[in-house]
Chains A and B, each alone.
Chain A
Amino acid sequence: MTIRLTMRVNGEPCAADDVWEGESLLYVLRERLGLPGSKNACEQGECGSCTVLMGGEVVCACLVGAGQAEGADIVTVEGLGDGEQLATIQQTFVDSGAVQCGFCTPGLLITAFDLLARDPDPTDATIREALAGNLCRCTGYEKILDAVRLAATRQSSSR
């Protein structure tokens, strides 16, 4: 049995047809809505590569059933910037060299974006705790921590 799934994604109402309710929100985003920014890696909530905001909270899109996402408000990495203008956290990832292979980056960006929205001046311990569910196998995390700190600084000076 399939359904027509309607959601709000990155501020825009959207619909997908022929959705099996047991497939994951991640599959819907990538394969049905053409939003491949959220990455598919572990499919078991271990790696954080598929992290999106759902109702304003970070979740693993691979662990949300499509049927559960009906009517949900979703933000993916595609929704962080404004057209060609990168969000602050995206620009600081570039500036800090926090991107290597890039596969974990979309999930980390969403998680870091959410952290800074809730805590504009996080301690290092808070940053580490917030990012604990996002695995990166390239960077060793130091540059990622740099990027989050730099984004916090830039956001506070622009306020």
Chain B
Amino acid sequence: MEFFRPTTLPEACHLKSEHPGALPLCGGTDVMVDINFDRRRPEALLDLTDVRGLYEVSRYDGYVRIGAAVPYTTIIAELSAEAPGLAIASRTVGSPQIRNRGSVGGNLGSASPAGDALPPLLAVDAEVEAVSAAGTRRIPIHEFFLGPKVNALRRDELIAAVHVPVARGPQQYAKVGTRNAMVIAVCSFSLALHPDAARVGTGIGSAAPTPRAALEAEDFLADELAERWETPEPLPDDVVRRFGELVAAAASPIDDVRGTADYRRHALSVLARRTLEWTWAEHGRQERTR
């Protein structure tokens, strides 16, 4: 097994095109587990630790560009206002040790249905910046997840960054697990309100082969909120309940060691109702102080 340690992104891209089987490694919180347990022996490891550009956070035209290697600790400390859903989700990742090393780029690369950062990215229509020796392209997050642990990257591509629209309204993320730390989500849900566009965004985790949005639930809620954005009274119970049902219906969970499909559907409807009530109340507070 070869081990490459590039110091620039062009060098990393060159190595990846020469060695398409090389597995990118950075925080190691997924890759090293597989190596330790001999579950994976890639032909090469492509260590991105020293590619400084991957740790940059920058802003432009209403977007935050988060370098692929920016650790969760930094996202929590610096992006709570601009990417609140992602920051809330980042707080639930593993432990301080894991959050110091793990990154959104790694979460996207692993493309696990349980990746905590992924539902919030769906809820805000983020875009993944993929880079190769041939150039750069932006992949809409809704087209990024192709199957369990399978993403839309070509074999010569690396994840350079994720582009997140700056929040214009409240966002939330909630997950179900056996304790607060060190938990792989049994199921998770992220909700983003976009009052200026009169839209909402959603993301479901750990309850389908990939992270996915609950599109019918989004349309239903956007319709229900259409006349309510400027006078945000508490929502009628039937609206909140129906939203939860539609979120649960958008999932296609399985029974596994962490929970049953039935439990996941039920829990998702609860998370959907809660996050709706939290975000809508926050929207109300923001409207009143405007």
Which one of B36, B45, B47 has the highest number of Cβ atoms from chain A below 10 Å of its Cβ? B36
Confirm or deny: A44 has a beta carbon within 8 angstroms of a beta carbon on chain B.
yes
Q: Please, how many angstroms separate the alpha-carbon atoms of A51 and B98 in the complex? A: 10
The size bracket of the interface on A is 20 to 34
**Cβ–Cβ contact A22 & B97, under 8 A:** no
Option from A3, A44, A51, A58 in Cβ contact (under 8 Å) with B36: A44
User: Which residues of B lie under 8 Å from residue A22 when comparing CB positions?
Assistant: 1, 3, 35, 45
**Cβ–Cβ contact A63 & B28, under 8 A:** yes
Interface class of chain B by DSSP:
mixed
User: Which residues of B lie under 8 Å from residue A87 when comparing CB positions?
Assistant: none
User: Which residues of B lie under 8 Å from residue A133 when comparing CB positions?
Assistant: 94-98, 181-182
**Cβ–Cβ contact A58 & B96, under 8 A:** yes
User: Which residues of B lie under 8 Å from residue A60 when comparing CB positions?
Assistant: 97-98, 101
**Cβ–Cβ contact B33 & A132, under 8 A:** no
**Cβ–Cβ contact A132 & B25, under 8 A:** no
**Cβ–Cβ contact A111 & B96, under 8 A:** yes
Confirm or deny: B80 has a beta carbon within 8 angstroms of a beta carbon on chain A.
no
Contacts A63-B32, A67-B5, A67-B47 hold; do A45 and B25 have CB atoms under 8 A apart? no
Confirm or deny: B260 has a beta carbon within 8 angstroms of a beta carbon on chain A.
no
Confirm or deny: A95 has a beta carbon within 8 angstroms of a beta carbon on chain B.
no
Smallest CB-CB separation from A132: which chain B residue? Answer: B181
Q: Please, how many angstroms separate the alpha-carbon atoms of A3 and B5 in the complex? A: 13
Shortest distance between the CB of A136 and any CB in chain B (Å)? 13
User: Which residues of A lie under 8 Å from residue B45 when comparing CB positions?
Assistant: 21-22, 65, 67
Q: Please, how many angstroms separate the alpha-carbon atoms of A63 and B37 in the complex? A: 11
Residue contacts A-B, CB under 8 angstroms, 29 given: A1-B1, A21-B3, A22-B35, A22-B45, A24-B36, A43-B33, A43-B37, A44-B36, A45-B29, A45-B32, A45-B98, A46-B182, A48-B95, A58-B96, A60-B97, A62-B36, A63-B27, A63-B33, A63-B101, A64-B101, A67-B5, A68-B5, A70-B5, A111-B96, A111-B97, A129-B96, A133-B95, A133-B98, A134-B95
Chain B interfacial positions (CB closer than 8 Å to A): 1-3, 5, 25, 27-29, 32-33, 35-37, 45, 47, 49, 73, 94-98, 100-101, 180-182
Shortest beta-carbon contacts, A-B, top 7: A133-B95, A132-B181, A21-B3, A63-B28, A43-B36, A63-B32, A67-B3
Inter-chain pairs besides A45-B29, A59-B97, A63-B29, 12 sampled, C-beta below 8 Å? A22-B45, A45-B98, A48-B97, A63-B32, A63-B33, A63-B101, A64-B32, A64-B101, A68-B25, A68-B28, A132-B180, A133-B182
